[in-house]
Chains A and B, each alone.
Chain A
Amino acid sequence: MIRFQKKNLLYKIYTWLPILALFISVFNEFDFNYLNIDYFSFNFPFILIFYFALKAYQRFDYFLVFLAGLFNDTVVGLPLGISSMSYILICIFATYLRNITISPNLIKDWFYFLFIISLINSINFSVLFLFFSYELDITLFIVNNFFTFLFYIIFSIFFKRYLKSLDD
Chain B
Amino acid sequence: MAESRDDFIIAIRSAFLNKSTKQKFSLLTLVFFSIVIIILSSFNFKAITVTKSVIKEIVYRSSFIVSIPENLIKSSYVNLNEYTNFYKEYKQTKEELDQLKSENISTKIIKSENEELKSLIDGYTITSNKILAKVIVDHESPFLRSIIINKGSKEKIKIGTNIYDRSYLVGRVIEVNYTNSRVLLLTDLNSNIPVSITPGNVQAIVVGNGDKKGEIKYIKNDLINKIDGQGIAYTSGTGSIFKSGIPVGTIDLKDENEKILINFYSDFSQLKYVFAEIDELIPTPVETKANDQTQVSSNTEQIKLDLISDELQILEDSNTKFLEENKELNTLTNDLTKQIEILKSENEYQKSVIQQHNLDQEELEFLRLNLIYSSRCQSKKLFSTGFQVGTEEYKRCIMRKGKISD
* Across-interface contacts of B14 in A (CB, < 8 A): 95-96, 99
Q: Mark A72-97, 1 if CB is under 8 A from B, else 0.
A: 00111111111011001101110110
Cα distance, A60 to B11, chains bound together (Å): 20
A96 touches B12 (CB 8 A): yes
Q: Which of B59-67, B373-381, B385-393, B394-402 contacts A (4 or more CB under 8 A)?
A: B59-67
Cα distance, A80 to B40, chains bound together (Å): 9
Nearest-CB residue, chain A, relative to B33:
A66
B269 touches A85 (CB 8 A): no
Nearest-CB residue, chain B, relative to A124:
B143
Q: Mark B207-234, 1 if CB is under 8 A from A, else 0.
A: 0001100000000000000000000000
Task: State the main secondary structure of chain A at its contact with B.
Answer: helix
List residues 97-127 of chain A with CB under 8 A from any CB of chain B: 99-100, 127
B210 touches A137 (CB 8 A): yes
Cα distance, A2 to B264, chains bound together (Å): 50
B143 touches A36 (CB 8 A): no
Contact A75 B63, CB 8 Å, known A80-B41, A141-B143: yes
* Across-interface contacts of B27 in A (CB, < 8 A): 62, 88, 91-92, 95
A16 to chain B, nearest CB (A): 12
A27 touches B33 (CB 8 A): no
B59 touches A71 (CB 8 A): yes
Q: Mark A54-67, 1 if CB is under 8 A from B, else 0.
A: 00101101110110
- How many residues of B are counted as interface, with CB atoms below 8 angstroms from the partner's CB atoms? 52
* Across-interface contacts of A143 in B (CB, < 8 A): 142
A77 touches B35 (CB 8 A): no
Cα distance, A100 to B190, chains bound together (Å): 43
Cα distance, A71 to B33, chains bound together (Å): 15
A63 touches B23 (CB 8 A): yes
B40 to chain A, nearest CB (A): 8
Q: Mark A4-43, 1 if CB is under 8 A from B, else 0.
A: 0000000000000000000110011101011010100100
Q: Mark B88-113, 1 if CB is under 8 A from A, else 0.
A: 00000000000000000000000000
Q: Mark B335-369, 1 if CB is under 8 A from A, else 0.
A: 00000000000000000000000000000000000
Cα distance, A71 to B54, chains bound together (Å): 12
B210 touches A58 (CB 8 A): no
A92 touches B24 (CB 8 A): no
Whether B331 is near chain A, meaning CB under 8 Å from some CB there, is no
* Across-interface contacts of A154 in B (CB, < 8 A): none
A-B interface pairs (CB < 8 A), number: 144
Cα distance, A20 to B127, chains bound together (Å): 47
* Across-interface contacts of B59 in A (CB, < 8 A): 27, 71, 74-75
Q: Which of B133-141, B162-170, B246-254, B308-316 contacts A (4 or more CB under 8 A)?
A: B133-141
Whether A151 is near chain B, meaning CB under 8 Å from some CB there, is no
A75 touches B137 (CB 8 A): yes
B41 touches A58 (CB 8 A): no
A17 to chain B, nearest CB (A): 15
Whether B16 is near chain A, meaning CB under 8 Å from some CB there, is yes
B42 touches A99 (CB 8 A): no
Contact A84 B34, CB 8 Å, known A34-B269, A75-B59, A99-B14: yes
* Across-interface contacts of B70 in A (CB, < 8 A): 28
Nearest-CB residue, chain A, relative to B140:
A33
Whether B290 is near chain A, meaning CB under 8 Å from some CB there, is no
* Across-interface contacts of B321 in A (CB, < 8 A): none
Whether B31 is near chain A, meaning CB under 8 Å from some CB there, is yes
Q: Mark B167-207, 1 if CB is under 8 A from A, else 0.
A: 00000000100000010000001100000000000000000
A80 touches B38 (CB 8 A): yes
B60 touches A74 (CB 8 A): yes
Cα distance, A28 to B136, chains bound together (Å): 12
Cα distance, A140 to B142, chains bound together (Å): 7
Nearest-CB residue, chain B, relative to A143:
B142
Q: Which of B15, B21, B189 contacts A137 (CB 8 A)?
A: B189
B34 touches A66 (CB 8 A): yes
B194 to chain A, nearest CB (A): 17
Contact A131 B31, CB 8 Å, known A29-B140, A74-B56, A76-B141: no
Q: Which of B30, B34, B55, B139 contacts A29 (CB 8 A)?
A: B139
Q: Ordered nearest first, which 3 A-B pairs have the shortest CB separation? A: A29-B139, A81-B37, A41-B142
Interface residues of B (CB under 8 A from A): 7-8, 10-12, 14-16, 18, 20-25, 27, 30-31, 33-38, 41-42, 52, 55-56, 59-60, 62-63, 66-67, 70, 74, 137, 139-144, 146, 175, 182, 189-190, 210-211, 269
Interface residues of A (CB under 8 A from B): 23-24, 27-29, 31, 33-34, 36, 38, 41, 56, 58-59, 61-63, 65-66, 69-71, 74-82, 84-85, 88-89, 91-93, 95-96, 99-100, 127, 131-132, 134-137, 140-141, 143-144
User: Apart from A28-B139, A84-B37, A96-B14, what are 14 other A-B pairs with CB-CB below 8 Å?
Assistant: A23-B66, A24-B66, A27-B63, A28-B67, A28-B70, A34-B140, A61-B24, A62-B30, A85-B38, A99-B10, A99-B11, A100-B11, A132-B42, A140-B143
